[in-house]
Amino acid sequence: MPVTIGRQLGSYEITALLGKGGMGEVYRARDTKLKREVAIKILPDEFSRDPSRVSRFQREAEVLASLNHPNIAAIYDLEETGETRFLGISWIRADGGGEVQSLLPGSNTPSSFSPDGTRLAYYSSNPGTGGDIWMLPLDVSDPDHPKQQKPEVFLNSPISENLPAFSPDGHWIAYRTSGESGEQALWVRRYPDTGARWQISTDAFITMWSRTAQ
């Protein structure tokens, strides 16, 4: 069932679309029970009928529940309403308050800022591959009102690439790939050089660097 603004999912009322990617859709919502703003990650309908996708969605929820880090969203719920499966997770404004600042169209999902704040790594839905990784240069001469420049493609290949994450020094990008059969892997590349790459893991759900980038 399509998700629309105003739809009720359990105790959550959908209020805005935050982003879409190859692995799901993220919405802003209102927790009507506890009176708080949250984010809702929804597993697409076509994936809800795939046992392997449902299993990975479950594992993602379990991984989030096991982590406690200021840069990782806290999980509140894993629910199913009808055929819709979704996660209820914490939502924290990046700019400290006020109205939402739109930097990307709804079909793109922001993932990681460069340490100096001049690049936003994001992944974009691609019907052919599932997702590609792009960079959005930002003019931050006015820090309160960053201005987007022309997007630059970082990775575009026959497989889906998503969840890019800058290293603390800004010289590396970690990202996840998803193959046709559903397998996922974690890779690292130098930035901005996109030549060599190193595979870190054959089973990846979250891309996150340690503070020392090691």
**Residue 180 in domain:** yes
Long-range contacts of 143-147, Cβ-Cβ distance < 8 Å, separation of 24 or more:
143/117, 144/95, 145/101, 146/101, 146/103, 146/117
pLDDT in the model for residue 140: 78
pLDDT in the model for residue 98: 46
Q: Indicate whether 85 and 148 sit together in one domain.
A: no
Last residue of a domain, one of 90, 122, 145: 90
Structure tokens at 48: 């809800």
Last residue of a domain, one of 60, 90, 120: 90
Q: Which residues of the chain fall short of a pLDDT of 70?
A: 1-2, 21-23, 69-72, 92-107, 143-144, 179-182, 194, 204-206, 211-214
Spatial distance between the Cα atoms of 23 and 43, rounded to a whole number of angstroms? 7
Last residue of a domain, one of 43, 62, 90: 90
CATH number at residue 45: 3.30.200.20
Say if residues 177 and 36 touch (Cβ distance below 8 Å): no
**Residue 100 in domain:** no
Q: Indicate whether 83 and 16 sit together in one domain.
A: yes
Q: Are strands 152-155 and 172-178 parallel, antiparallel or unpaired?
A: unpaired
- The CB-side HSE value for 99 (13 A sphere, CA atoms) comes to 4
| CA distances (Å), origin 60, targets 87, 185, 196 | 9, 14, 28
pLDDT in the model for residue 178: 77
| CA distances (Å), origin 144, targets 20, 97, 100, 194 | 25, 11, 12, 31
Long-range contacts of 42-47, Cβ-Cβ distance < 8 Å, separation of 24 or more:
42/3, 42/9, 42/84, 42/85, 42/86, 43/84, 43/85, 43/86, 45/1, 45/83, 45/84
Number of domains composing the chain = 2
Q: Indicate whether 113 and 185 sit together in one domain.
A: yes
Q: Which residue has the tokens 């290949």?
A: 157
pLDDT tens per residue across span 88-118: 998 766 554 544 455 565 567 778 888 888 8
Q: What is the domain extent for residue 158?
A: 108-201
Q: Indicate whether 119 and 165 sit together in one domain.
A: yes
**Residue 96 in domain:** no
Q: Indicate whether 119 and 188 sit together in one domain.
A: yes
Structure tokens at 103: 């930097």
pLDDT in the model for residue 13: 93
